[in-house]
């Protein structure tokens, strides 16, 4: 997630859009939200990869330089979008699943996200260990079984889960650390871009239904952002200054269009549940086109990475932003 992750904590537009979408699920009583369960990649990982043999880690400076807890495994300088959504909902910081050692820590939610993880299990394998969406859903099921077993009659699990929110922000790595790396992954040889988007959505839908079957009823599902504009892709494609990689953005939008259709279908088929779309592409596309409006001066370079556009390798320990 080179380049994009470093900006998400500072995006007023993203917070506004995501907050509005989540607000539509909880209405006027956000304090009634029992918990928030997070599934995703480096955009929302808050420490799970600290415990993995992975190249994708961020538990060192300059990550966390503006966060009151310092470097924690968040892939940004300060708070993630999850931290900000939690504040809007009156929730404490959601613990990383790998750091949870007692049931009481899980009662307001758990973050299962893993940097380099994707919708497909194979995604990100070149970067070492990571938890795919399927593995994250499996961890959630294990967690809730443990909560139900230990809390027993003290907690109505059905009510608890129905009043909780699942936030899913994933899919970027299925492109930048899979489909767009033909020397390492064969997916682009087997699937056309539209067929690949179908493949991702089918896997995504399957995992959502597993979460629904487990008892969750409120889902915030974020689309994939304009990956053709992030420093990593600009560097890999040698794009002229001020331009994005159009074919990459077109691929991403194929996925987003299908995700919107999936959400419409899920809402029609599951009247007691609610599925809401988060327009990541629109939010960040506006930031890229109008950086000064959001307090940015540079929109085509990473803040402290290495390589062309400082976007080919993520920030190394103690790098200067």
| Distance of alpha carbon 247 from alpha carbon 193, whole angstroms | 10
For residue 10, pLDDT beyond 60 = no
Considering only residues 277 and 17, tell me which one the structure prediction assigns the higher pLDDT. Answer: 277
* pLDDT at residue 152, rounded to an integer: 78
Tell me if 316 is assigned to some domain.
no
Instruction: Please give the distance of CA 104 from its chain centroid, rounded to a whole number.
Output: 25
| Distance of alpha carbon 117 from alpha carbon 136, whole angstroms | 9
Tell me if 315 is assigned to some domain.
no
* pLDDT at residue 130, rounded to an integer: 99
Banded model confidence at residue 5, pLDDT cuts 50, 70, 90 = very low
Banded model confidence at residue 319, pLDDT cuts 50, 70, 90 = confident
Lowest mean pLDDT among 60-69, 116-125, 290-299: 290-299
Banded model confidence at residue 7, pLDDT cuts 50, 70, 90 = very low
32 within 8 A of 298, measured Cβ to Cβ: no
Tell me if 192 is assigned to some domain.
yes
Q: Collect all residues with Cβ–Cβ distance below 8 Å to 253 and sequence separation of at least 6.
A: 281
* Per-residue pLDDT reduced to its tens digit, 48-102: 999 999 999 999 999 999 999 999 999 999 999 999 999 989 999 999 999 998 8
CATH number of the domain at 298, please.
3.40.50
Containing structural domain, residue 255: 5-310
What's the rounded mean pLDDT across residues 243-257? 97
What's the rounded mean pLDDT across residues 240-253? 94
What's the rounded mean pLDDT across residues 199-214? 98
Q: Give which of 119, 117, 109 is closest to 37, Cα–Cα.
A: 109
What's the rounded mean pLDDT across residues 114-132? 98
Tell me if 226 is assigned to some domain.
yes
Q: How many domains does the chain have?
A: 1
Tell me if 246 is assigned to some domain.
yes
What's the rounded mean pLDDT across residues 223-241? 90
65 within 8 A of 321, measured Cβ to Cβ: yes
For residue 120, pLDDT beyond 60 = yes
> Which strands form 218-222's sheet, in the order they lie side by side?
109-111, 36-40, 165-169, 218-222, 274-278
Banded model confidence at residue 217, pLDDT cuts 50, 70, 90 = very high
For residue 3, pLDDT beyond 80 = no
pTM of the entire predicted model: 0.92
């Amino acid at each position: 997630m080179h380049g994009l992750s470093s900006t998400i904590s500072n995006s007023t537009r993203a917070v506004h859009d995501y907050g509005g979408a989540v607000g539509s699920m909880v209405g006027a009583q956000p304090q009634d939200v029992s918990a928030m369960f997070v599934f995703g990649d480096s955009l929302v990982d808050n420490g799970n990869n600290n415990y993995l043999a992975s190249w994708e880690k961020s538990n060192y400076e300059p990550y966390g330089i503006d966060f009151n807890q310092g470097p924690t495994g968040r892939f940004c300088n300060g708070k993630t979008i999850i931290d900000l959504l939690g504040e809007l909902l009156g929730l404490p910081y959601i613990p990383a699943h790998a750091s949870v050692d007692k049931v009481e820590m899980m009662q307001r939610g758990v973050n299962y996200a893993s940097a380099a993880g994707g919708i497909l299990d194979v995604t990100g394998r070149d970067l070492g260990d990571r938890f795919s969406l399927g593995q994250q859903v499996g961890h959630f099921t294990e967690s809730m079984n443990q909560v139900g077993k230990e809390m027993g009659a003290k907690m109505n699990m059905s009510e608890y889960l129905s009043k909780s929110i699942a936030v899913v922000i994933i899919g970027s790595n299925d492109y930048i650390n899979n489909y767009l790396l033909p020397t390492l992954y064969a997916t682009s040889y087997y699937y056309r871009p539209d067929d690949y988007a179908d493949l991702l959505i089918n896997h995504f839908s399957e995992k959502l239904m597993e979460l629904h079957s487990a008892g969750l009823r409120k889902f915030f599902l974020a689309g994939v952002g304009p990956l053709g504009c992030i420093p990593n892709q600009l560097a890999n494609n040698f794009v002229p200054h001020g331009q994005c990689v159009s074919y990459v953005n077109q691929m991403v939008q194929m996925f987003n269009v299908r995700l919107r259709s999936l959400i419409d279908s899920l809402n029609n088929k599951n009247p007691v549940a609610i599925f809401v779309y988060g327009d990541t592409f629109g939010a960040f596309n506006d930031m890229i086109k109008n950086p000064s409006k959001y307090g940015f001066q540079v929109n085509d370079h990473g803040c402290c990475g290495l390589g062309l556009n400082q976007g080919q390798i993520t920030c190394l320990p103690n790098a200067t932003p």
